[in-house]
Structure 1
Amino acid sequence: MIYLDFAATTPMSDEALAVFTKIARHVYGNASSLHDIGSSADNLLEAAREEIAKLLHGETNGIYFTSGGSESNILALQSLLEANREKGNHVITTRCEHASVYNLFRKWEQSGLSVTYLPLNGQGEVDTEALIQAIRPDTILASIQYVNSEIGTIQPIAQIGEILHERDVIFHCDAVQAFGKLPIDVRRLRIDALSVSSHKIYGPKGVGAVYINPRRKWMAQFPGTTHENGFRPGTVNVPGIAAFTAAAQAIYNTMDEERERLHCLRDTLIRELQNIPHAQVVLEGDPRRTLPAIAGLRIVGLEGQLAMLECNRYGVAISTGSACAVGSQEPSRTMKAMGRSDEEAKQFIRLSFGKTTTKEDVLRAAAVLRSIAEAYFG
């Protein structure tokens, strides 16, 4: 089967698998144990912390390892909110955030927090003027994703960071889709807190990290927790973290070349799809500011679920959006936030590419979609 759902998850790389196996076998101690075996694990853990911080251009003591992107988002946001509640009762986000962020803000809203959901333009980009207008004296924090997982739109993070920094609003950024695909400098971008995940970059599932600027205060969510400096309870997954770090190092070494290669693959797919007779293909997202690994689109009049299932029948794995929304009967929040109707939102499909994707894979996927469209409209 041709796998074109890399935005949902990636297979573990050879580098990550080799490191995971070696560390699990030989450095098995609890990093909190005081004997030499535990110290060896702790030394490895701190080396990984230093390396992830270096990739983000952040400070080593700002890195906290977690079980993945969702937990990173929730713990970062909750710990920052509770530590800074004296500032007010207002927070800012968008309706196209990952489910872990969006559902947390909905929960906060139901508990009495005032939430502003920023509007998006028709290409999925945050309106920065609306952000400026939304900030109030009692605004505590804002959470805005770096890259949208469905359409690939890259938000103007540097501009957003500057706006929030000038007004002393804490800026959390979900960078799960951006990490390893775009260069990230938390200092230059004025990002106070950032979430990343291992399994999106060919590392193991169940591992992620949070960066919090050490000059921002946060509150531990579980009293008495000693692991990760009180940020998260539970024995630290040293083999997983080591494998995550190896995967991150490997993907960063080829990031620029890979981005160019994926641009070519995405352009090839779009060109092929736009030549389908009797079908209108709409590419979603900002054509100038889109992650090349993601192609979100609609074949007008063809339901996305049908297209996805038919592709699967022909041996091509694609998706109808975020894997975290599978099972939901609601139209895509991203599509709705961009002004699409329910019917248009249900037409959405996503093809996402990775390091094993070839031109032949893309041409095959385009041919399958062409045959589906011809059967449906012909």
Structure 2
Amino acid sequence: MRTFYFDHAATTPMHPDVAAAMLGIMTGAAGNASSMHAFGRAAKQQLNRSRDRISAALGCKPAELLFTSGGTESDNAALIGAARAQRKRRKNHIITSAGEHHAVLHTCEWLSKEEGFELTVLPVDRTGRTSPEQVKEAMTEKTGLVSIMYGNNEVGTVQPIDAIGQAVKAGGALFHVDAVQALGCLETPLRDLPVDLMSFSAHKINGPQGVGALYAAAGTPLEAVQHGGSQERKRRAGTENIAGIAGFAEAVDICVNERKTKQPFLDGLRKRWIELLKEHAGVPVIVNGDPERYLPHIANVSLIGLDTETILMNLDMEGIAASSGSACTSGALERSHVLRAMGLADEQIQSAVRFSFGLGNTLEELEEASQKIGTIARRIRNNY
């Protein structure tokens, strides 16, 4: 059976050049970057080269980039480390939005419950957008940290990061941005953005799983969350994943070099997919998210009258990988907190599916997959 992978927002296939870069290190001589001998120095040189490549692509200084195990750790390190540092400055108020990834929302809730921080969770509008004006109004003299994502992982809405960052700076707080989905699709010129902390992940850009990075602007107060060694300038203890980081650097190079052609191609796939669904699904199709400011690889659509879980099971049986954009807990589908935060009708929330595109996808396979979805939709309707 032919398969169709339309879940690139969850994880992406590794680029062959990334795999080759990693294999060369994994099959070479061993070396710990903290060791003083020649093998350790070689590993350290490889680590430094990778850091230089990624920081150059992101527009920051190498010393401002620390490596982690992925986006979730980067978010945790930024939020917990910055919040604790700001509390020492008598700033114990955190602001985030209801549309954030759980790596941010749950961490902020934990800081509020377990460490006594004041937490304000701002609403989003029906497109998933956070208003800079609401951020400004929510800020007080006690606000130490604001966290708003760059591009939403479920509906693709791109936030007005520059305007929000300006408001945060004017209020004297730190600004953290989860850019895990945005990397590779949007430009991230860190030297020009009003951002103090930004999270990244390699496996969203055809790099390896288990590797991420956190940008921390020079001078940003940040307490270490992980202890036990002096790696990453004492900000993140633990032996660095040299092969994974090298793969990350290769993936960043590729996505930067190909962004000008990749972005319009992905946007073309997204637009054509929506057209095909409206043509073949046989039910009303509603596109969720901002109609103008969106990540080009994510299409969150509601197939009105069909149930999300039923759709996903049938898609899987036909070899089509898609997602609800939310977590599965004990085998039961958890309805999207993002769509609920957007205030959408229940029929939209209960019929929403996220399709996301990337390396390997073609217009031809979209045509074939859309025919299968038409068959699936008819089968589901006939069984109701």
The one-letter amino acid of 1:48's match is S
Q: 2:303 aligns with which of 299, 316, 319?
A: 299
Contact (CA 8 Å) 2:280, 2:371: kept in 1 or not? no
| Letter of the structure 2 residue corresponding to residue 115 of structure 1 | L
Q: With structure 1 as the length reference, what TM-score do the two structures score?
A: 0.96
1:316–1:336 Cα change, 3 Å? same
Displacement, 1:332?
0.5
Partner of 2:374, secondary structure, is helix
SS at match of 1:145: coil
* Counterpart position of 2:61: 59
Aligned to 1:142: 146
> Is structure 2 residue 72 aligned with structure 1 residue 70?
yes
Is residue 278–residue 374 contact of structure 1 (8 Å, CA) maintained in 2? yes
Aligned to 2:369: 365
Which segment drifts farther, 94-103 or 31-40?
A: 94-103
Question: How far 1:14 sits from its partner (Å)?
Answer: 0.8
Question: 1:155-193 deviations in whole A, cap 9, x for unaligned?
Answer: 111111111112221010010001111110122221100
Q: Decide which of 213, 216, 221 is 2:220's aligned counterpart.
A: 216
Worse overlay, 254-263 or 107-116:
107-116
Q: Give the Cα–Cα distance (whole angstroms) in 2 for the partners of residues 349 and 326 of structure 1.
A: 20
**TM-score, scaled relative to structure 2:** 0.94
Secondary structure of residue in 1 paired with 2:266: helix
1:373 Cα shift?
A: 2.0
* Aligned counterparts of 1:362 and 1:87: Cα–Cα separation in 2: 54
Give the aligned partner of residue 331 of structure 1. Answer: 335
- For 1:28, the equivalent position in structure 2 comes to 30
1:297 maps to a residue whose letter is V
CA–CA separation in structure 1 for the residues paired with 2:250 and 2:107 = 31
Q: Equivalents in 1 of 2:38, 2:12: separation in Å?
A: 35
Separation in 1, partners of 2:215, 2:328: 23
User: Counterpart of 1:321?
Assistant: 325
In the alignment, which of 196, 202, 225 is matched to residue 198 of structure 1? 202
Residue 34 of structure 2 is aligned to residue 37 of structure 1 = no
One-letter identity of the residue aligned with 1:97: E
Looking at structure 2, the residues matched to 285 and 33 of structure 1 have their Cα atoms a distance apart, in angstroms, of 49
Contact residue 31 and residue 236 of structure 1 kept, 8 A? yes
Whether the 8 Å contact between 2:12 and 2:359 is mirrored in structure 1 is no
* Superposed CA offset, 1:96-124 (max 9, x none): 21111111111122132211111111111
Question: How has the CA–CA distance of structure 1 residues 223 and 270 changed in structure 2, closer, same or farther, with 3 Å as cutoff?
Answer: closer
Percent identity over paired residues: 37
Residues 110-161 of structure 1 show CA distances to partners (whole Å, capped at 9, x for unaligned) of 1322111111111111122111111111001011111111111111111111
Q: Which residue of 1 aligns with 2:352?
A: 348
CA contact (8 A) 2:98 2:341 kept: yes
Is 314-323 or 291-300 further displaced after alignment? 314-323
Please report how far the alpha carbon of residue 26 of structure 1 lies from its aligned counterpart in structure 2 after TM superposition.
2.1
AA at the equivalent of 2:95: I
2:11 pairs with 1:6: no
Q: Tell me if the contact between 1:10 and 1:200 (Cα under 8 Å) persists in the aligned partners.
A: yes
* Aligned-pair CA distance for 1:223: 4.5
Residue by residue over 1:47-74, the C-alpha shift from the partner in whole angstroms, topping out at 9 and shown as x without a partner, is: 1111111111111111100111101110
Counterpart position of 2:86: 84
Structure 2 equivalent of residue 16 of structure 1: 18
Supply the AA of the counterpart residue of 1:42.
Answer: K
Amino acid of the structure 2 residue aligned with 1:89: N
**Secondary structure of the residue that 1:321 maps to in structure 2?**
coil
Whichever residue aligns with residue 253 of structure 1, its letter is: N
Whether 1:257 and 2:266 are equivalent positions in the alignment is no
Q: Distance in 2 between matches of 1:375 and 1:18?
A: 44
Asked if 2 retains the 8 angstrom alpha-carbon contact of 1:66 and 1:232, the reply is yes
Kept after mapping to 1: 8 A contact 2:328/2:334:
no
Aligned match for 1:175, one of 172, 176, 179: 179
Q: Determine the structure 2 residue equivalent to 1:121.
A: 125
Q: Output the CA distance in 1 between the equivalents of 2:332 and 2:168.
A: 33
What CA distance in whole angstroms lies between the structure 2 residues aligned with 1:11 and 1:231? 30
Does the residue aligned with 2:208 lie in a helix, a strand or coil?
coil
Deviation at 1:329, TM superposition (A): 4.2
Letter in 2 for 1:347: S
How many Å separate the matches in 2 of 1:127 and 1:325? 31
Match of 1:165 in 2: 169
Contact 1:8 1:323 in 2 (8 A): no
Of 193-202 and 94-103, deviating more is 94-103
d(CA) in 2 for partners of 1:125, 1:18 = 39
State the secondary structure of the residue aligned to 1:84. helix
Change (3 A) 1:201 1:278: closer
Contact kept, 8 Å, 1:57 with 1:186, in 2: the verdict is yes
Tell me by how many angstroms 1:330 deviates: 3.3
Q: AA paired with 1:167?
A: G
Are 2:7 and 2:322, in contact at CA under 8 Å, matched by a contact in 1? yes
- Residue deviations 1:300-327 (CA, integer Å, cap 9, x gap): 1211111111111111111111468785
* Pairing 1:152–2:153 present: no
5+ residue gaps, structure 2:
none
The runs of 5 or more residues in structure 1 that have no matched partner are none
Cα distance 1:28–1:104, how it changes in 2: closer, same or farther (>3 A)? Answer: same
Shift in Å, 1:225: 2.6
Change (3 A) 1:90 1:303: same
In structure 2, relative to structure 1, the CA distance for the partners of 1:121 and 1:134 (3 Å cut) is same
